[in-house]
Structures are given as structure tokens and as C-alpha cells.
């Protein structure tokens, strides 16, 4: 991919985070890291997946962030998500608690960049390595500043993630 086109992709990813940055709501920032991902259908082509990133969460639960990771095929990748929401427990449905205290559910939506070449078809709606992405997660707050989280990667796998509050 020519450098000029690559710069445009990165610029689009960074600009996608601007809407959430303008909110006046007080926010906390989280450093996120994932050392391990399990694939539902392992392949000899799969490589070790790791992830690092930063996430911004407002007091209302609005979410935005950016992550850098190696995808399942060893390619450097980015997920920038200006849209998302965290739903802290307890959450009840009638008289039944479906999400206990100290647990949370989360979703994030944005742009995914990195599945290129012969792996472009591994992600829906991918064009030149750029595609929409949605992640749903379930996590547990261990302390006020520490969380463990599991991310569902479509029908392909689970990512195990550690979050620590920076501010």
C-alpha cells in the first residue's frame, strides 16, 4: 500500500475518536492489555495474538479507545472505536440478577485496520485492510482500578484482557 494511502487510513482512524473527546463528562482512562486469545477453530496459520491500548470511559459509561495488536495471522493491526458503552452490574431482569455487582457488560464499535493481502476475507466488509468492527465484552472489576475482561471476537474466538485505571 503506498505511503500516502496508508497515512489517509491512519488519519481516518484517529479522527474517528474526536467526537468522544469533546464530551464535557468527567472521564477515566484505562491502559488495556491482552496476552492471550483462544481460537474456536485453531489453524496452523494462526499466530500468537497480543494487544495493548488505551480506553476512555465517561461517568455515564460512554466508551472510546484505540488498540494496537497482532491479528491471528501475525499482521500488525489497529482497532479505533469512538462508539461504545459500559453497563455496570448489578443488572436485574424482573427479580433475577443477570449481572452481579462488580461485573460489567461492554460493547465497542469502530474501524479495524490490518487484515491485508490473503487474509482480507477473514473480516467482513474488509477493503484494503480497513473494515468496521464490533466487540462485545464481559468483565469483572477486581478493585476500583483493576479489571479482567473477556472479549468475544465474532464467531472466531475469545480474547482475555487486563485493564488498569490510569486516571
At 11 the three-state DSSP class reads helix
pLDDT recorded at residue 78: 96
pLDDT recorded at residue 81: 97
Per-residue pLDDT band for 103 (boundaries 50, 70, 90) equals very high
For 25-65, write each residue's pLDDT tens digit.
Answer: 689 999 999 999 999 999 999 999 999 999 999 999 999 99
DSSP character for 117?
Answer: G
**Distance in angstroms (rounded) separating the CA atoms of residues 33 and 68:** 10
Q: What is the pTM of this model?
A: 0.83
Q: Are 116 and 131 in contact (CB under 8 A)?
A: no
Q: What is the mean pLDDT of the chain?
A: 88
**Distance in angstroms (rounded) separating the CA atoms of residues 159 and 137:** 9
For 87-102, write each residue's pLDDT tens digit.
Answer: 999 988 999 988 999 9
pLDDT recorded at residue 26: 85
**Distance in angstroms (rounded) separating the CA atoms of residues 151 and 157:** 8
Contacts of 17 (CB under 8 A, 6+ apart): 64, 65, 66, 80, 82
Amino acid at each position: 500500500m503506498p505511503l500516502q494511502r496508508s497515512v489517509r487510513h491512519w488519519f481516518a482512524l484517529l479522527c474517528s475518536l474526536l467526537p468522544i473527546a469533546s464530551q464535557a463528562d468527567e472521564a477515566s482512562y484505562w491502559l488495556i492489555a491482552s496476552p492471550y486469545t483462544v481460537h474456536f477453530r485453531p489453524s496452523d496459520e494462526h499466530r500468537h495474538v497480543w494487544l495493548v491500548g488505551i480506553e476512555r470511559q465517561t461517568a455515564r459509561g460512554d466508551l472510546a479507545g484505540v488498540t494496537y495488536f497482532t491479528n491471528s495471522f501475525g499482521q500488525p493491526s489497529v482497532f479505533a472505536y469512538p462508539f461504545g458503552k459500559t453497563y455496570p452490574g448489578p443488572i436485574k431482569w424482573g427479580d433475577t440478577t443477570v449481572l452481579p455487582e462488580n461485573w460489567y457488560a461492554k460493547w465497542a464499535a469502530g474501524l479495524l485496520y490490518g487484515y491485508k493481502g490473503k487474509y482480507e476475507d477473514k473480516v467482513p466488509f474488509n477493503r484494503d485492510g480497513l473494515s468496521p468492527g464490533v466487540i462485545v465484552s464481559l468483565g469483572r472489576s477486581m478493585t476500583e482500578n483493576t479489571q479482567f475482561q473477556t472479549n468475544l471476537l465474532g464467531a472466531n474466538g475469545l480474547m482475555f484482557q487486563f485493564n488498569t485505571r490510569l486516571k
